[in-house]
């Protein structure tokens, strides 16, 4: 996915979640491998009363998410988790 697809990819993923698991504004989402926040950005339009917790093994992505998403949406939390396979 290129940078021009950043938002459209997240919107597609959010629509899938709404369709198949009936995602609601009050739900709590755990995103394993949240990356650079493609899905999180789109979910900010959906999760108004719920929460979002994402973690990833790439610290640079987590730092970006905390700077650009968490600062505007305090119920969206991101954590760097140094795990290896």
On whether the CB atoms of residues 64 and 29 are closer than 8 A, the answer is no
Residue 51 lies in a domain: yes
Q: How many Å apart are CA 17 and CA 28, to the nearest integer?
A: 12
Strand (E) or helix (H) holding 12: helix 6-21
Query: Given this model, what pLDDT does residue 3 score?
Result: 62
Domain of residue 26, CATH code: 3.40.50.150
Residue 14 lies in a domain: yes
Give me the phi and psi of 24, to 5 degrees please. -120, 165
Q: Which domain holds residue 65?
A: 3-80
- Give the tens place of pLDDT for each residue, 13-68: 999 999 999 999 999 999 999 999 999 999 999 999 999 999 999 999 999 999 99
Residue 30 lies in a domain: yes
Residue located via tokens 């755990």: 30
Reading the block at residue 4, the tokens are: 């021009």
| pTM assigned to the model | 0.88
Residue 85 lies in a domain: no
Total domains in the chain come to 1
């Amino acid at each position: 996915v290129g940078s021009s697809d950043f938002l459209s990819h997240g919107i597609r993923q959010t629509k899938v979640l709404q369709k198949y698991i009936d995602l609601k504004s009050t739900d709590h989402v755990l995103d394993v491998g949240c990356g650079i926040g493609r899905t999180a950005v789109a979910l900010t339009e959906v999760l108004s009363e719920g929460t979002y917790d994402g973690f990833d093994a790439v610290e640079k992505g987590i730092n970006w998410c905390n700077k650009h998403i968490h600062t505007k949406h305090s119920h969206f939390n991101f954590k760097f988790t140094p795990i290896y396979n």
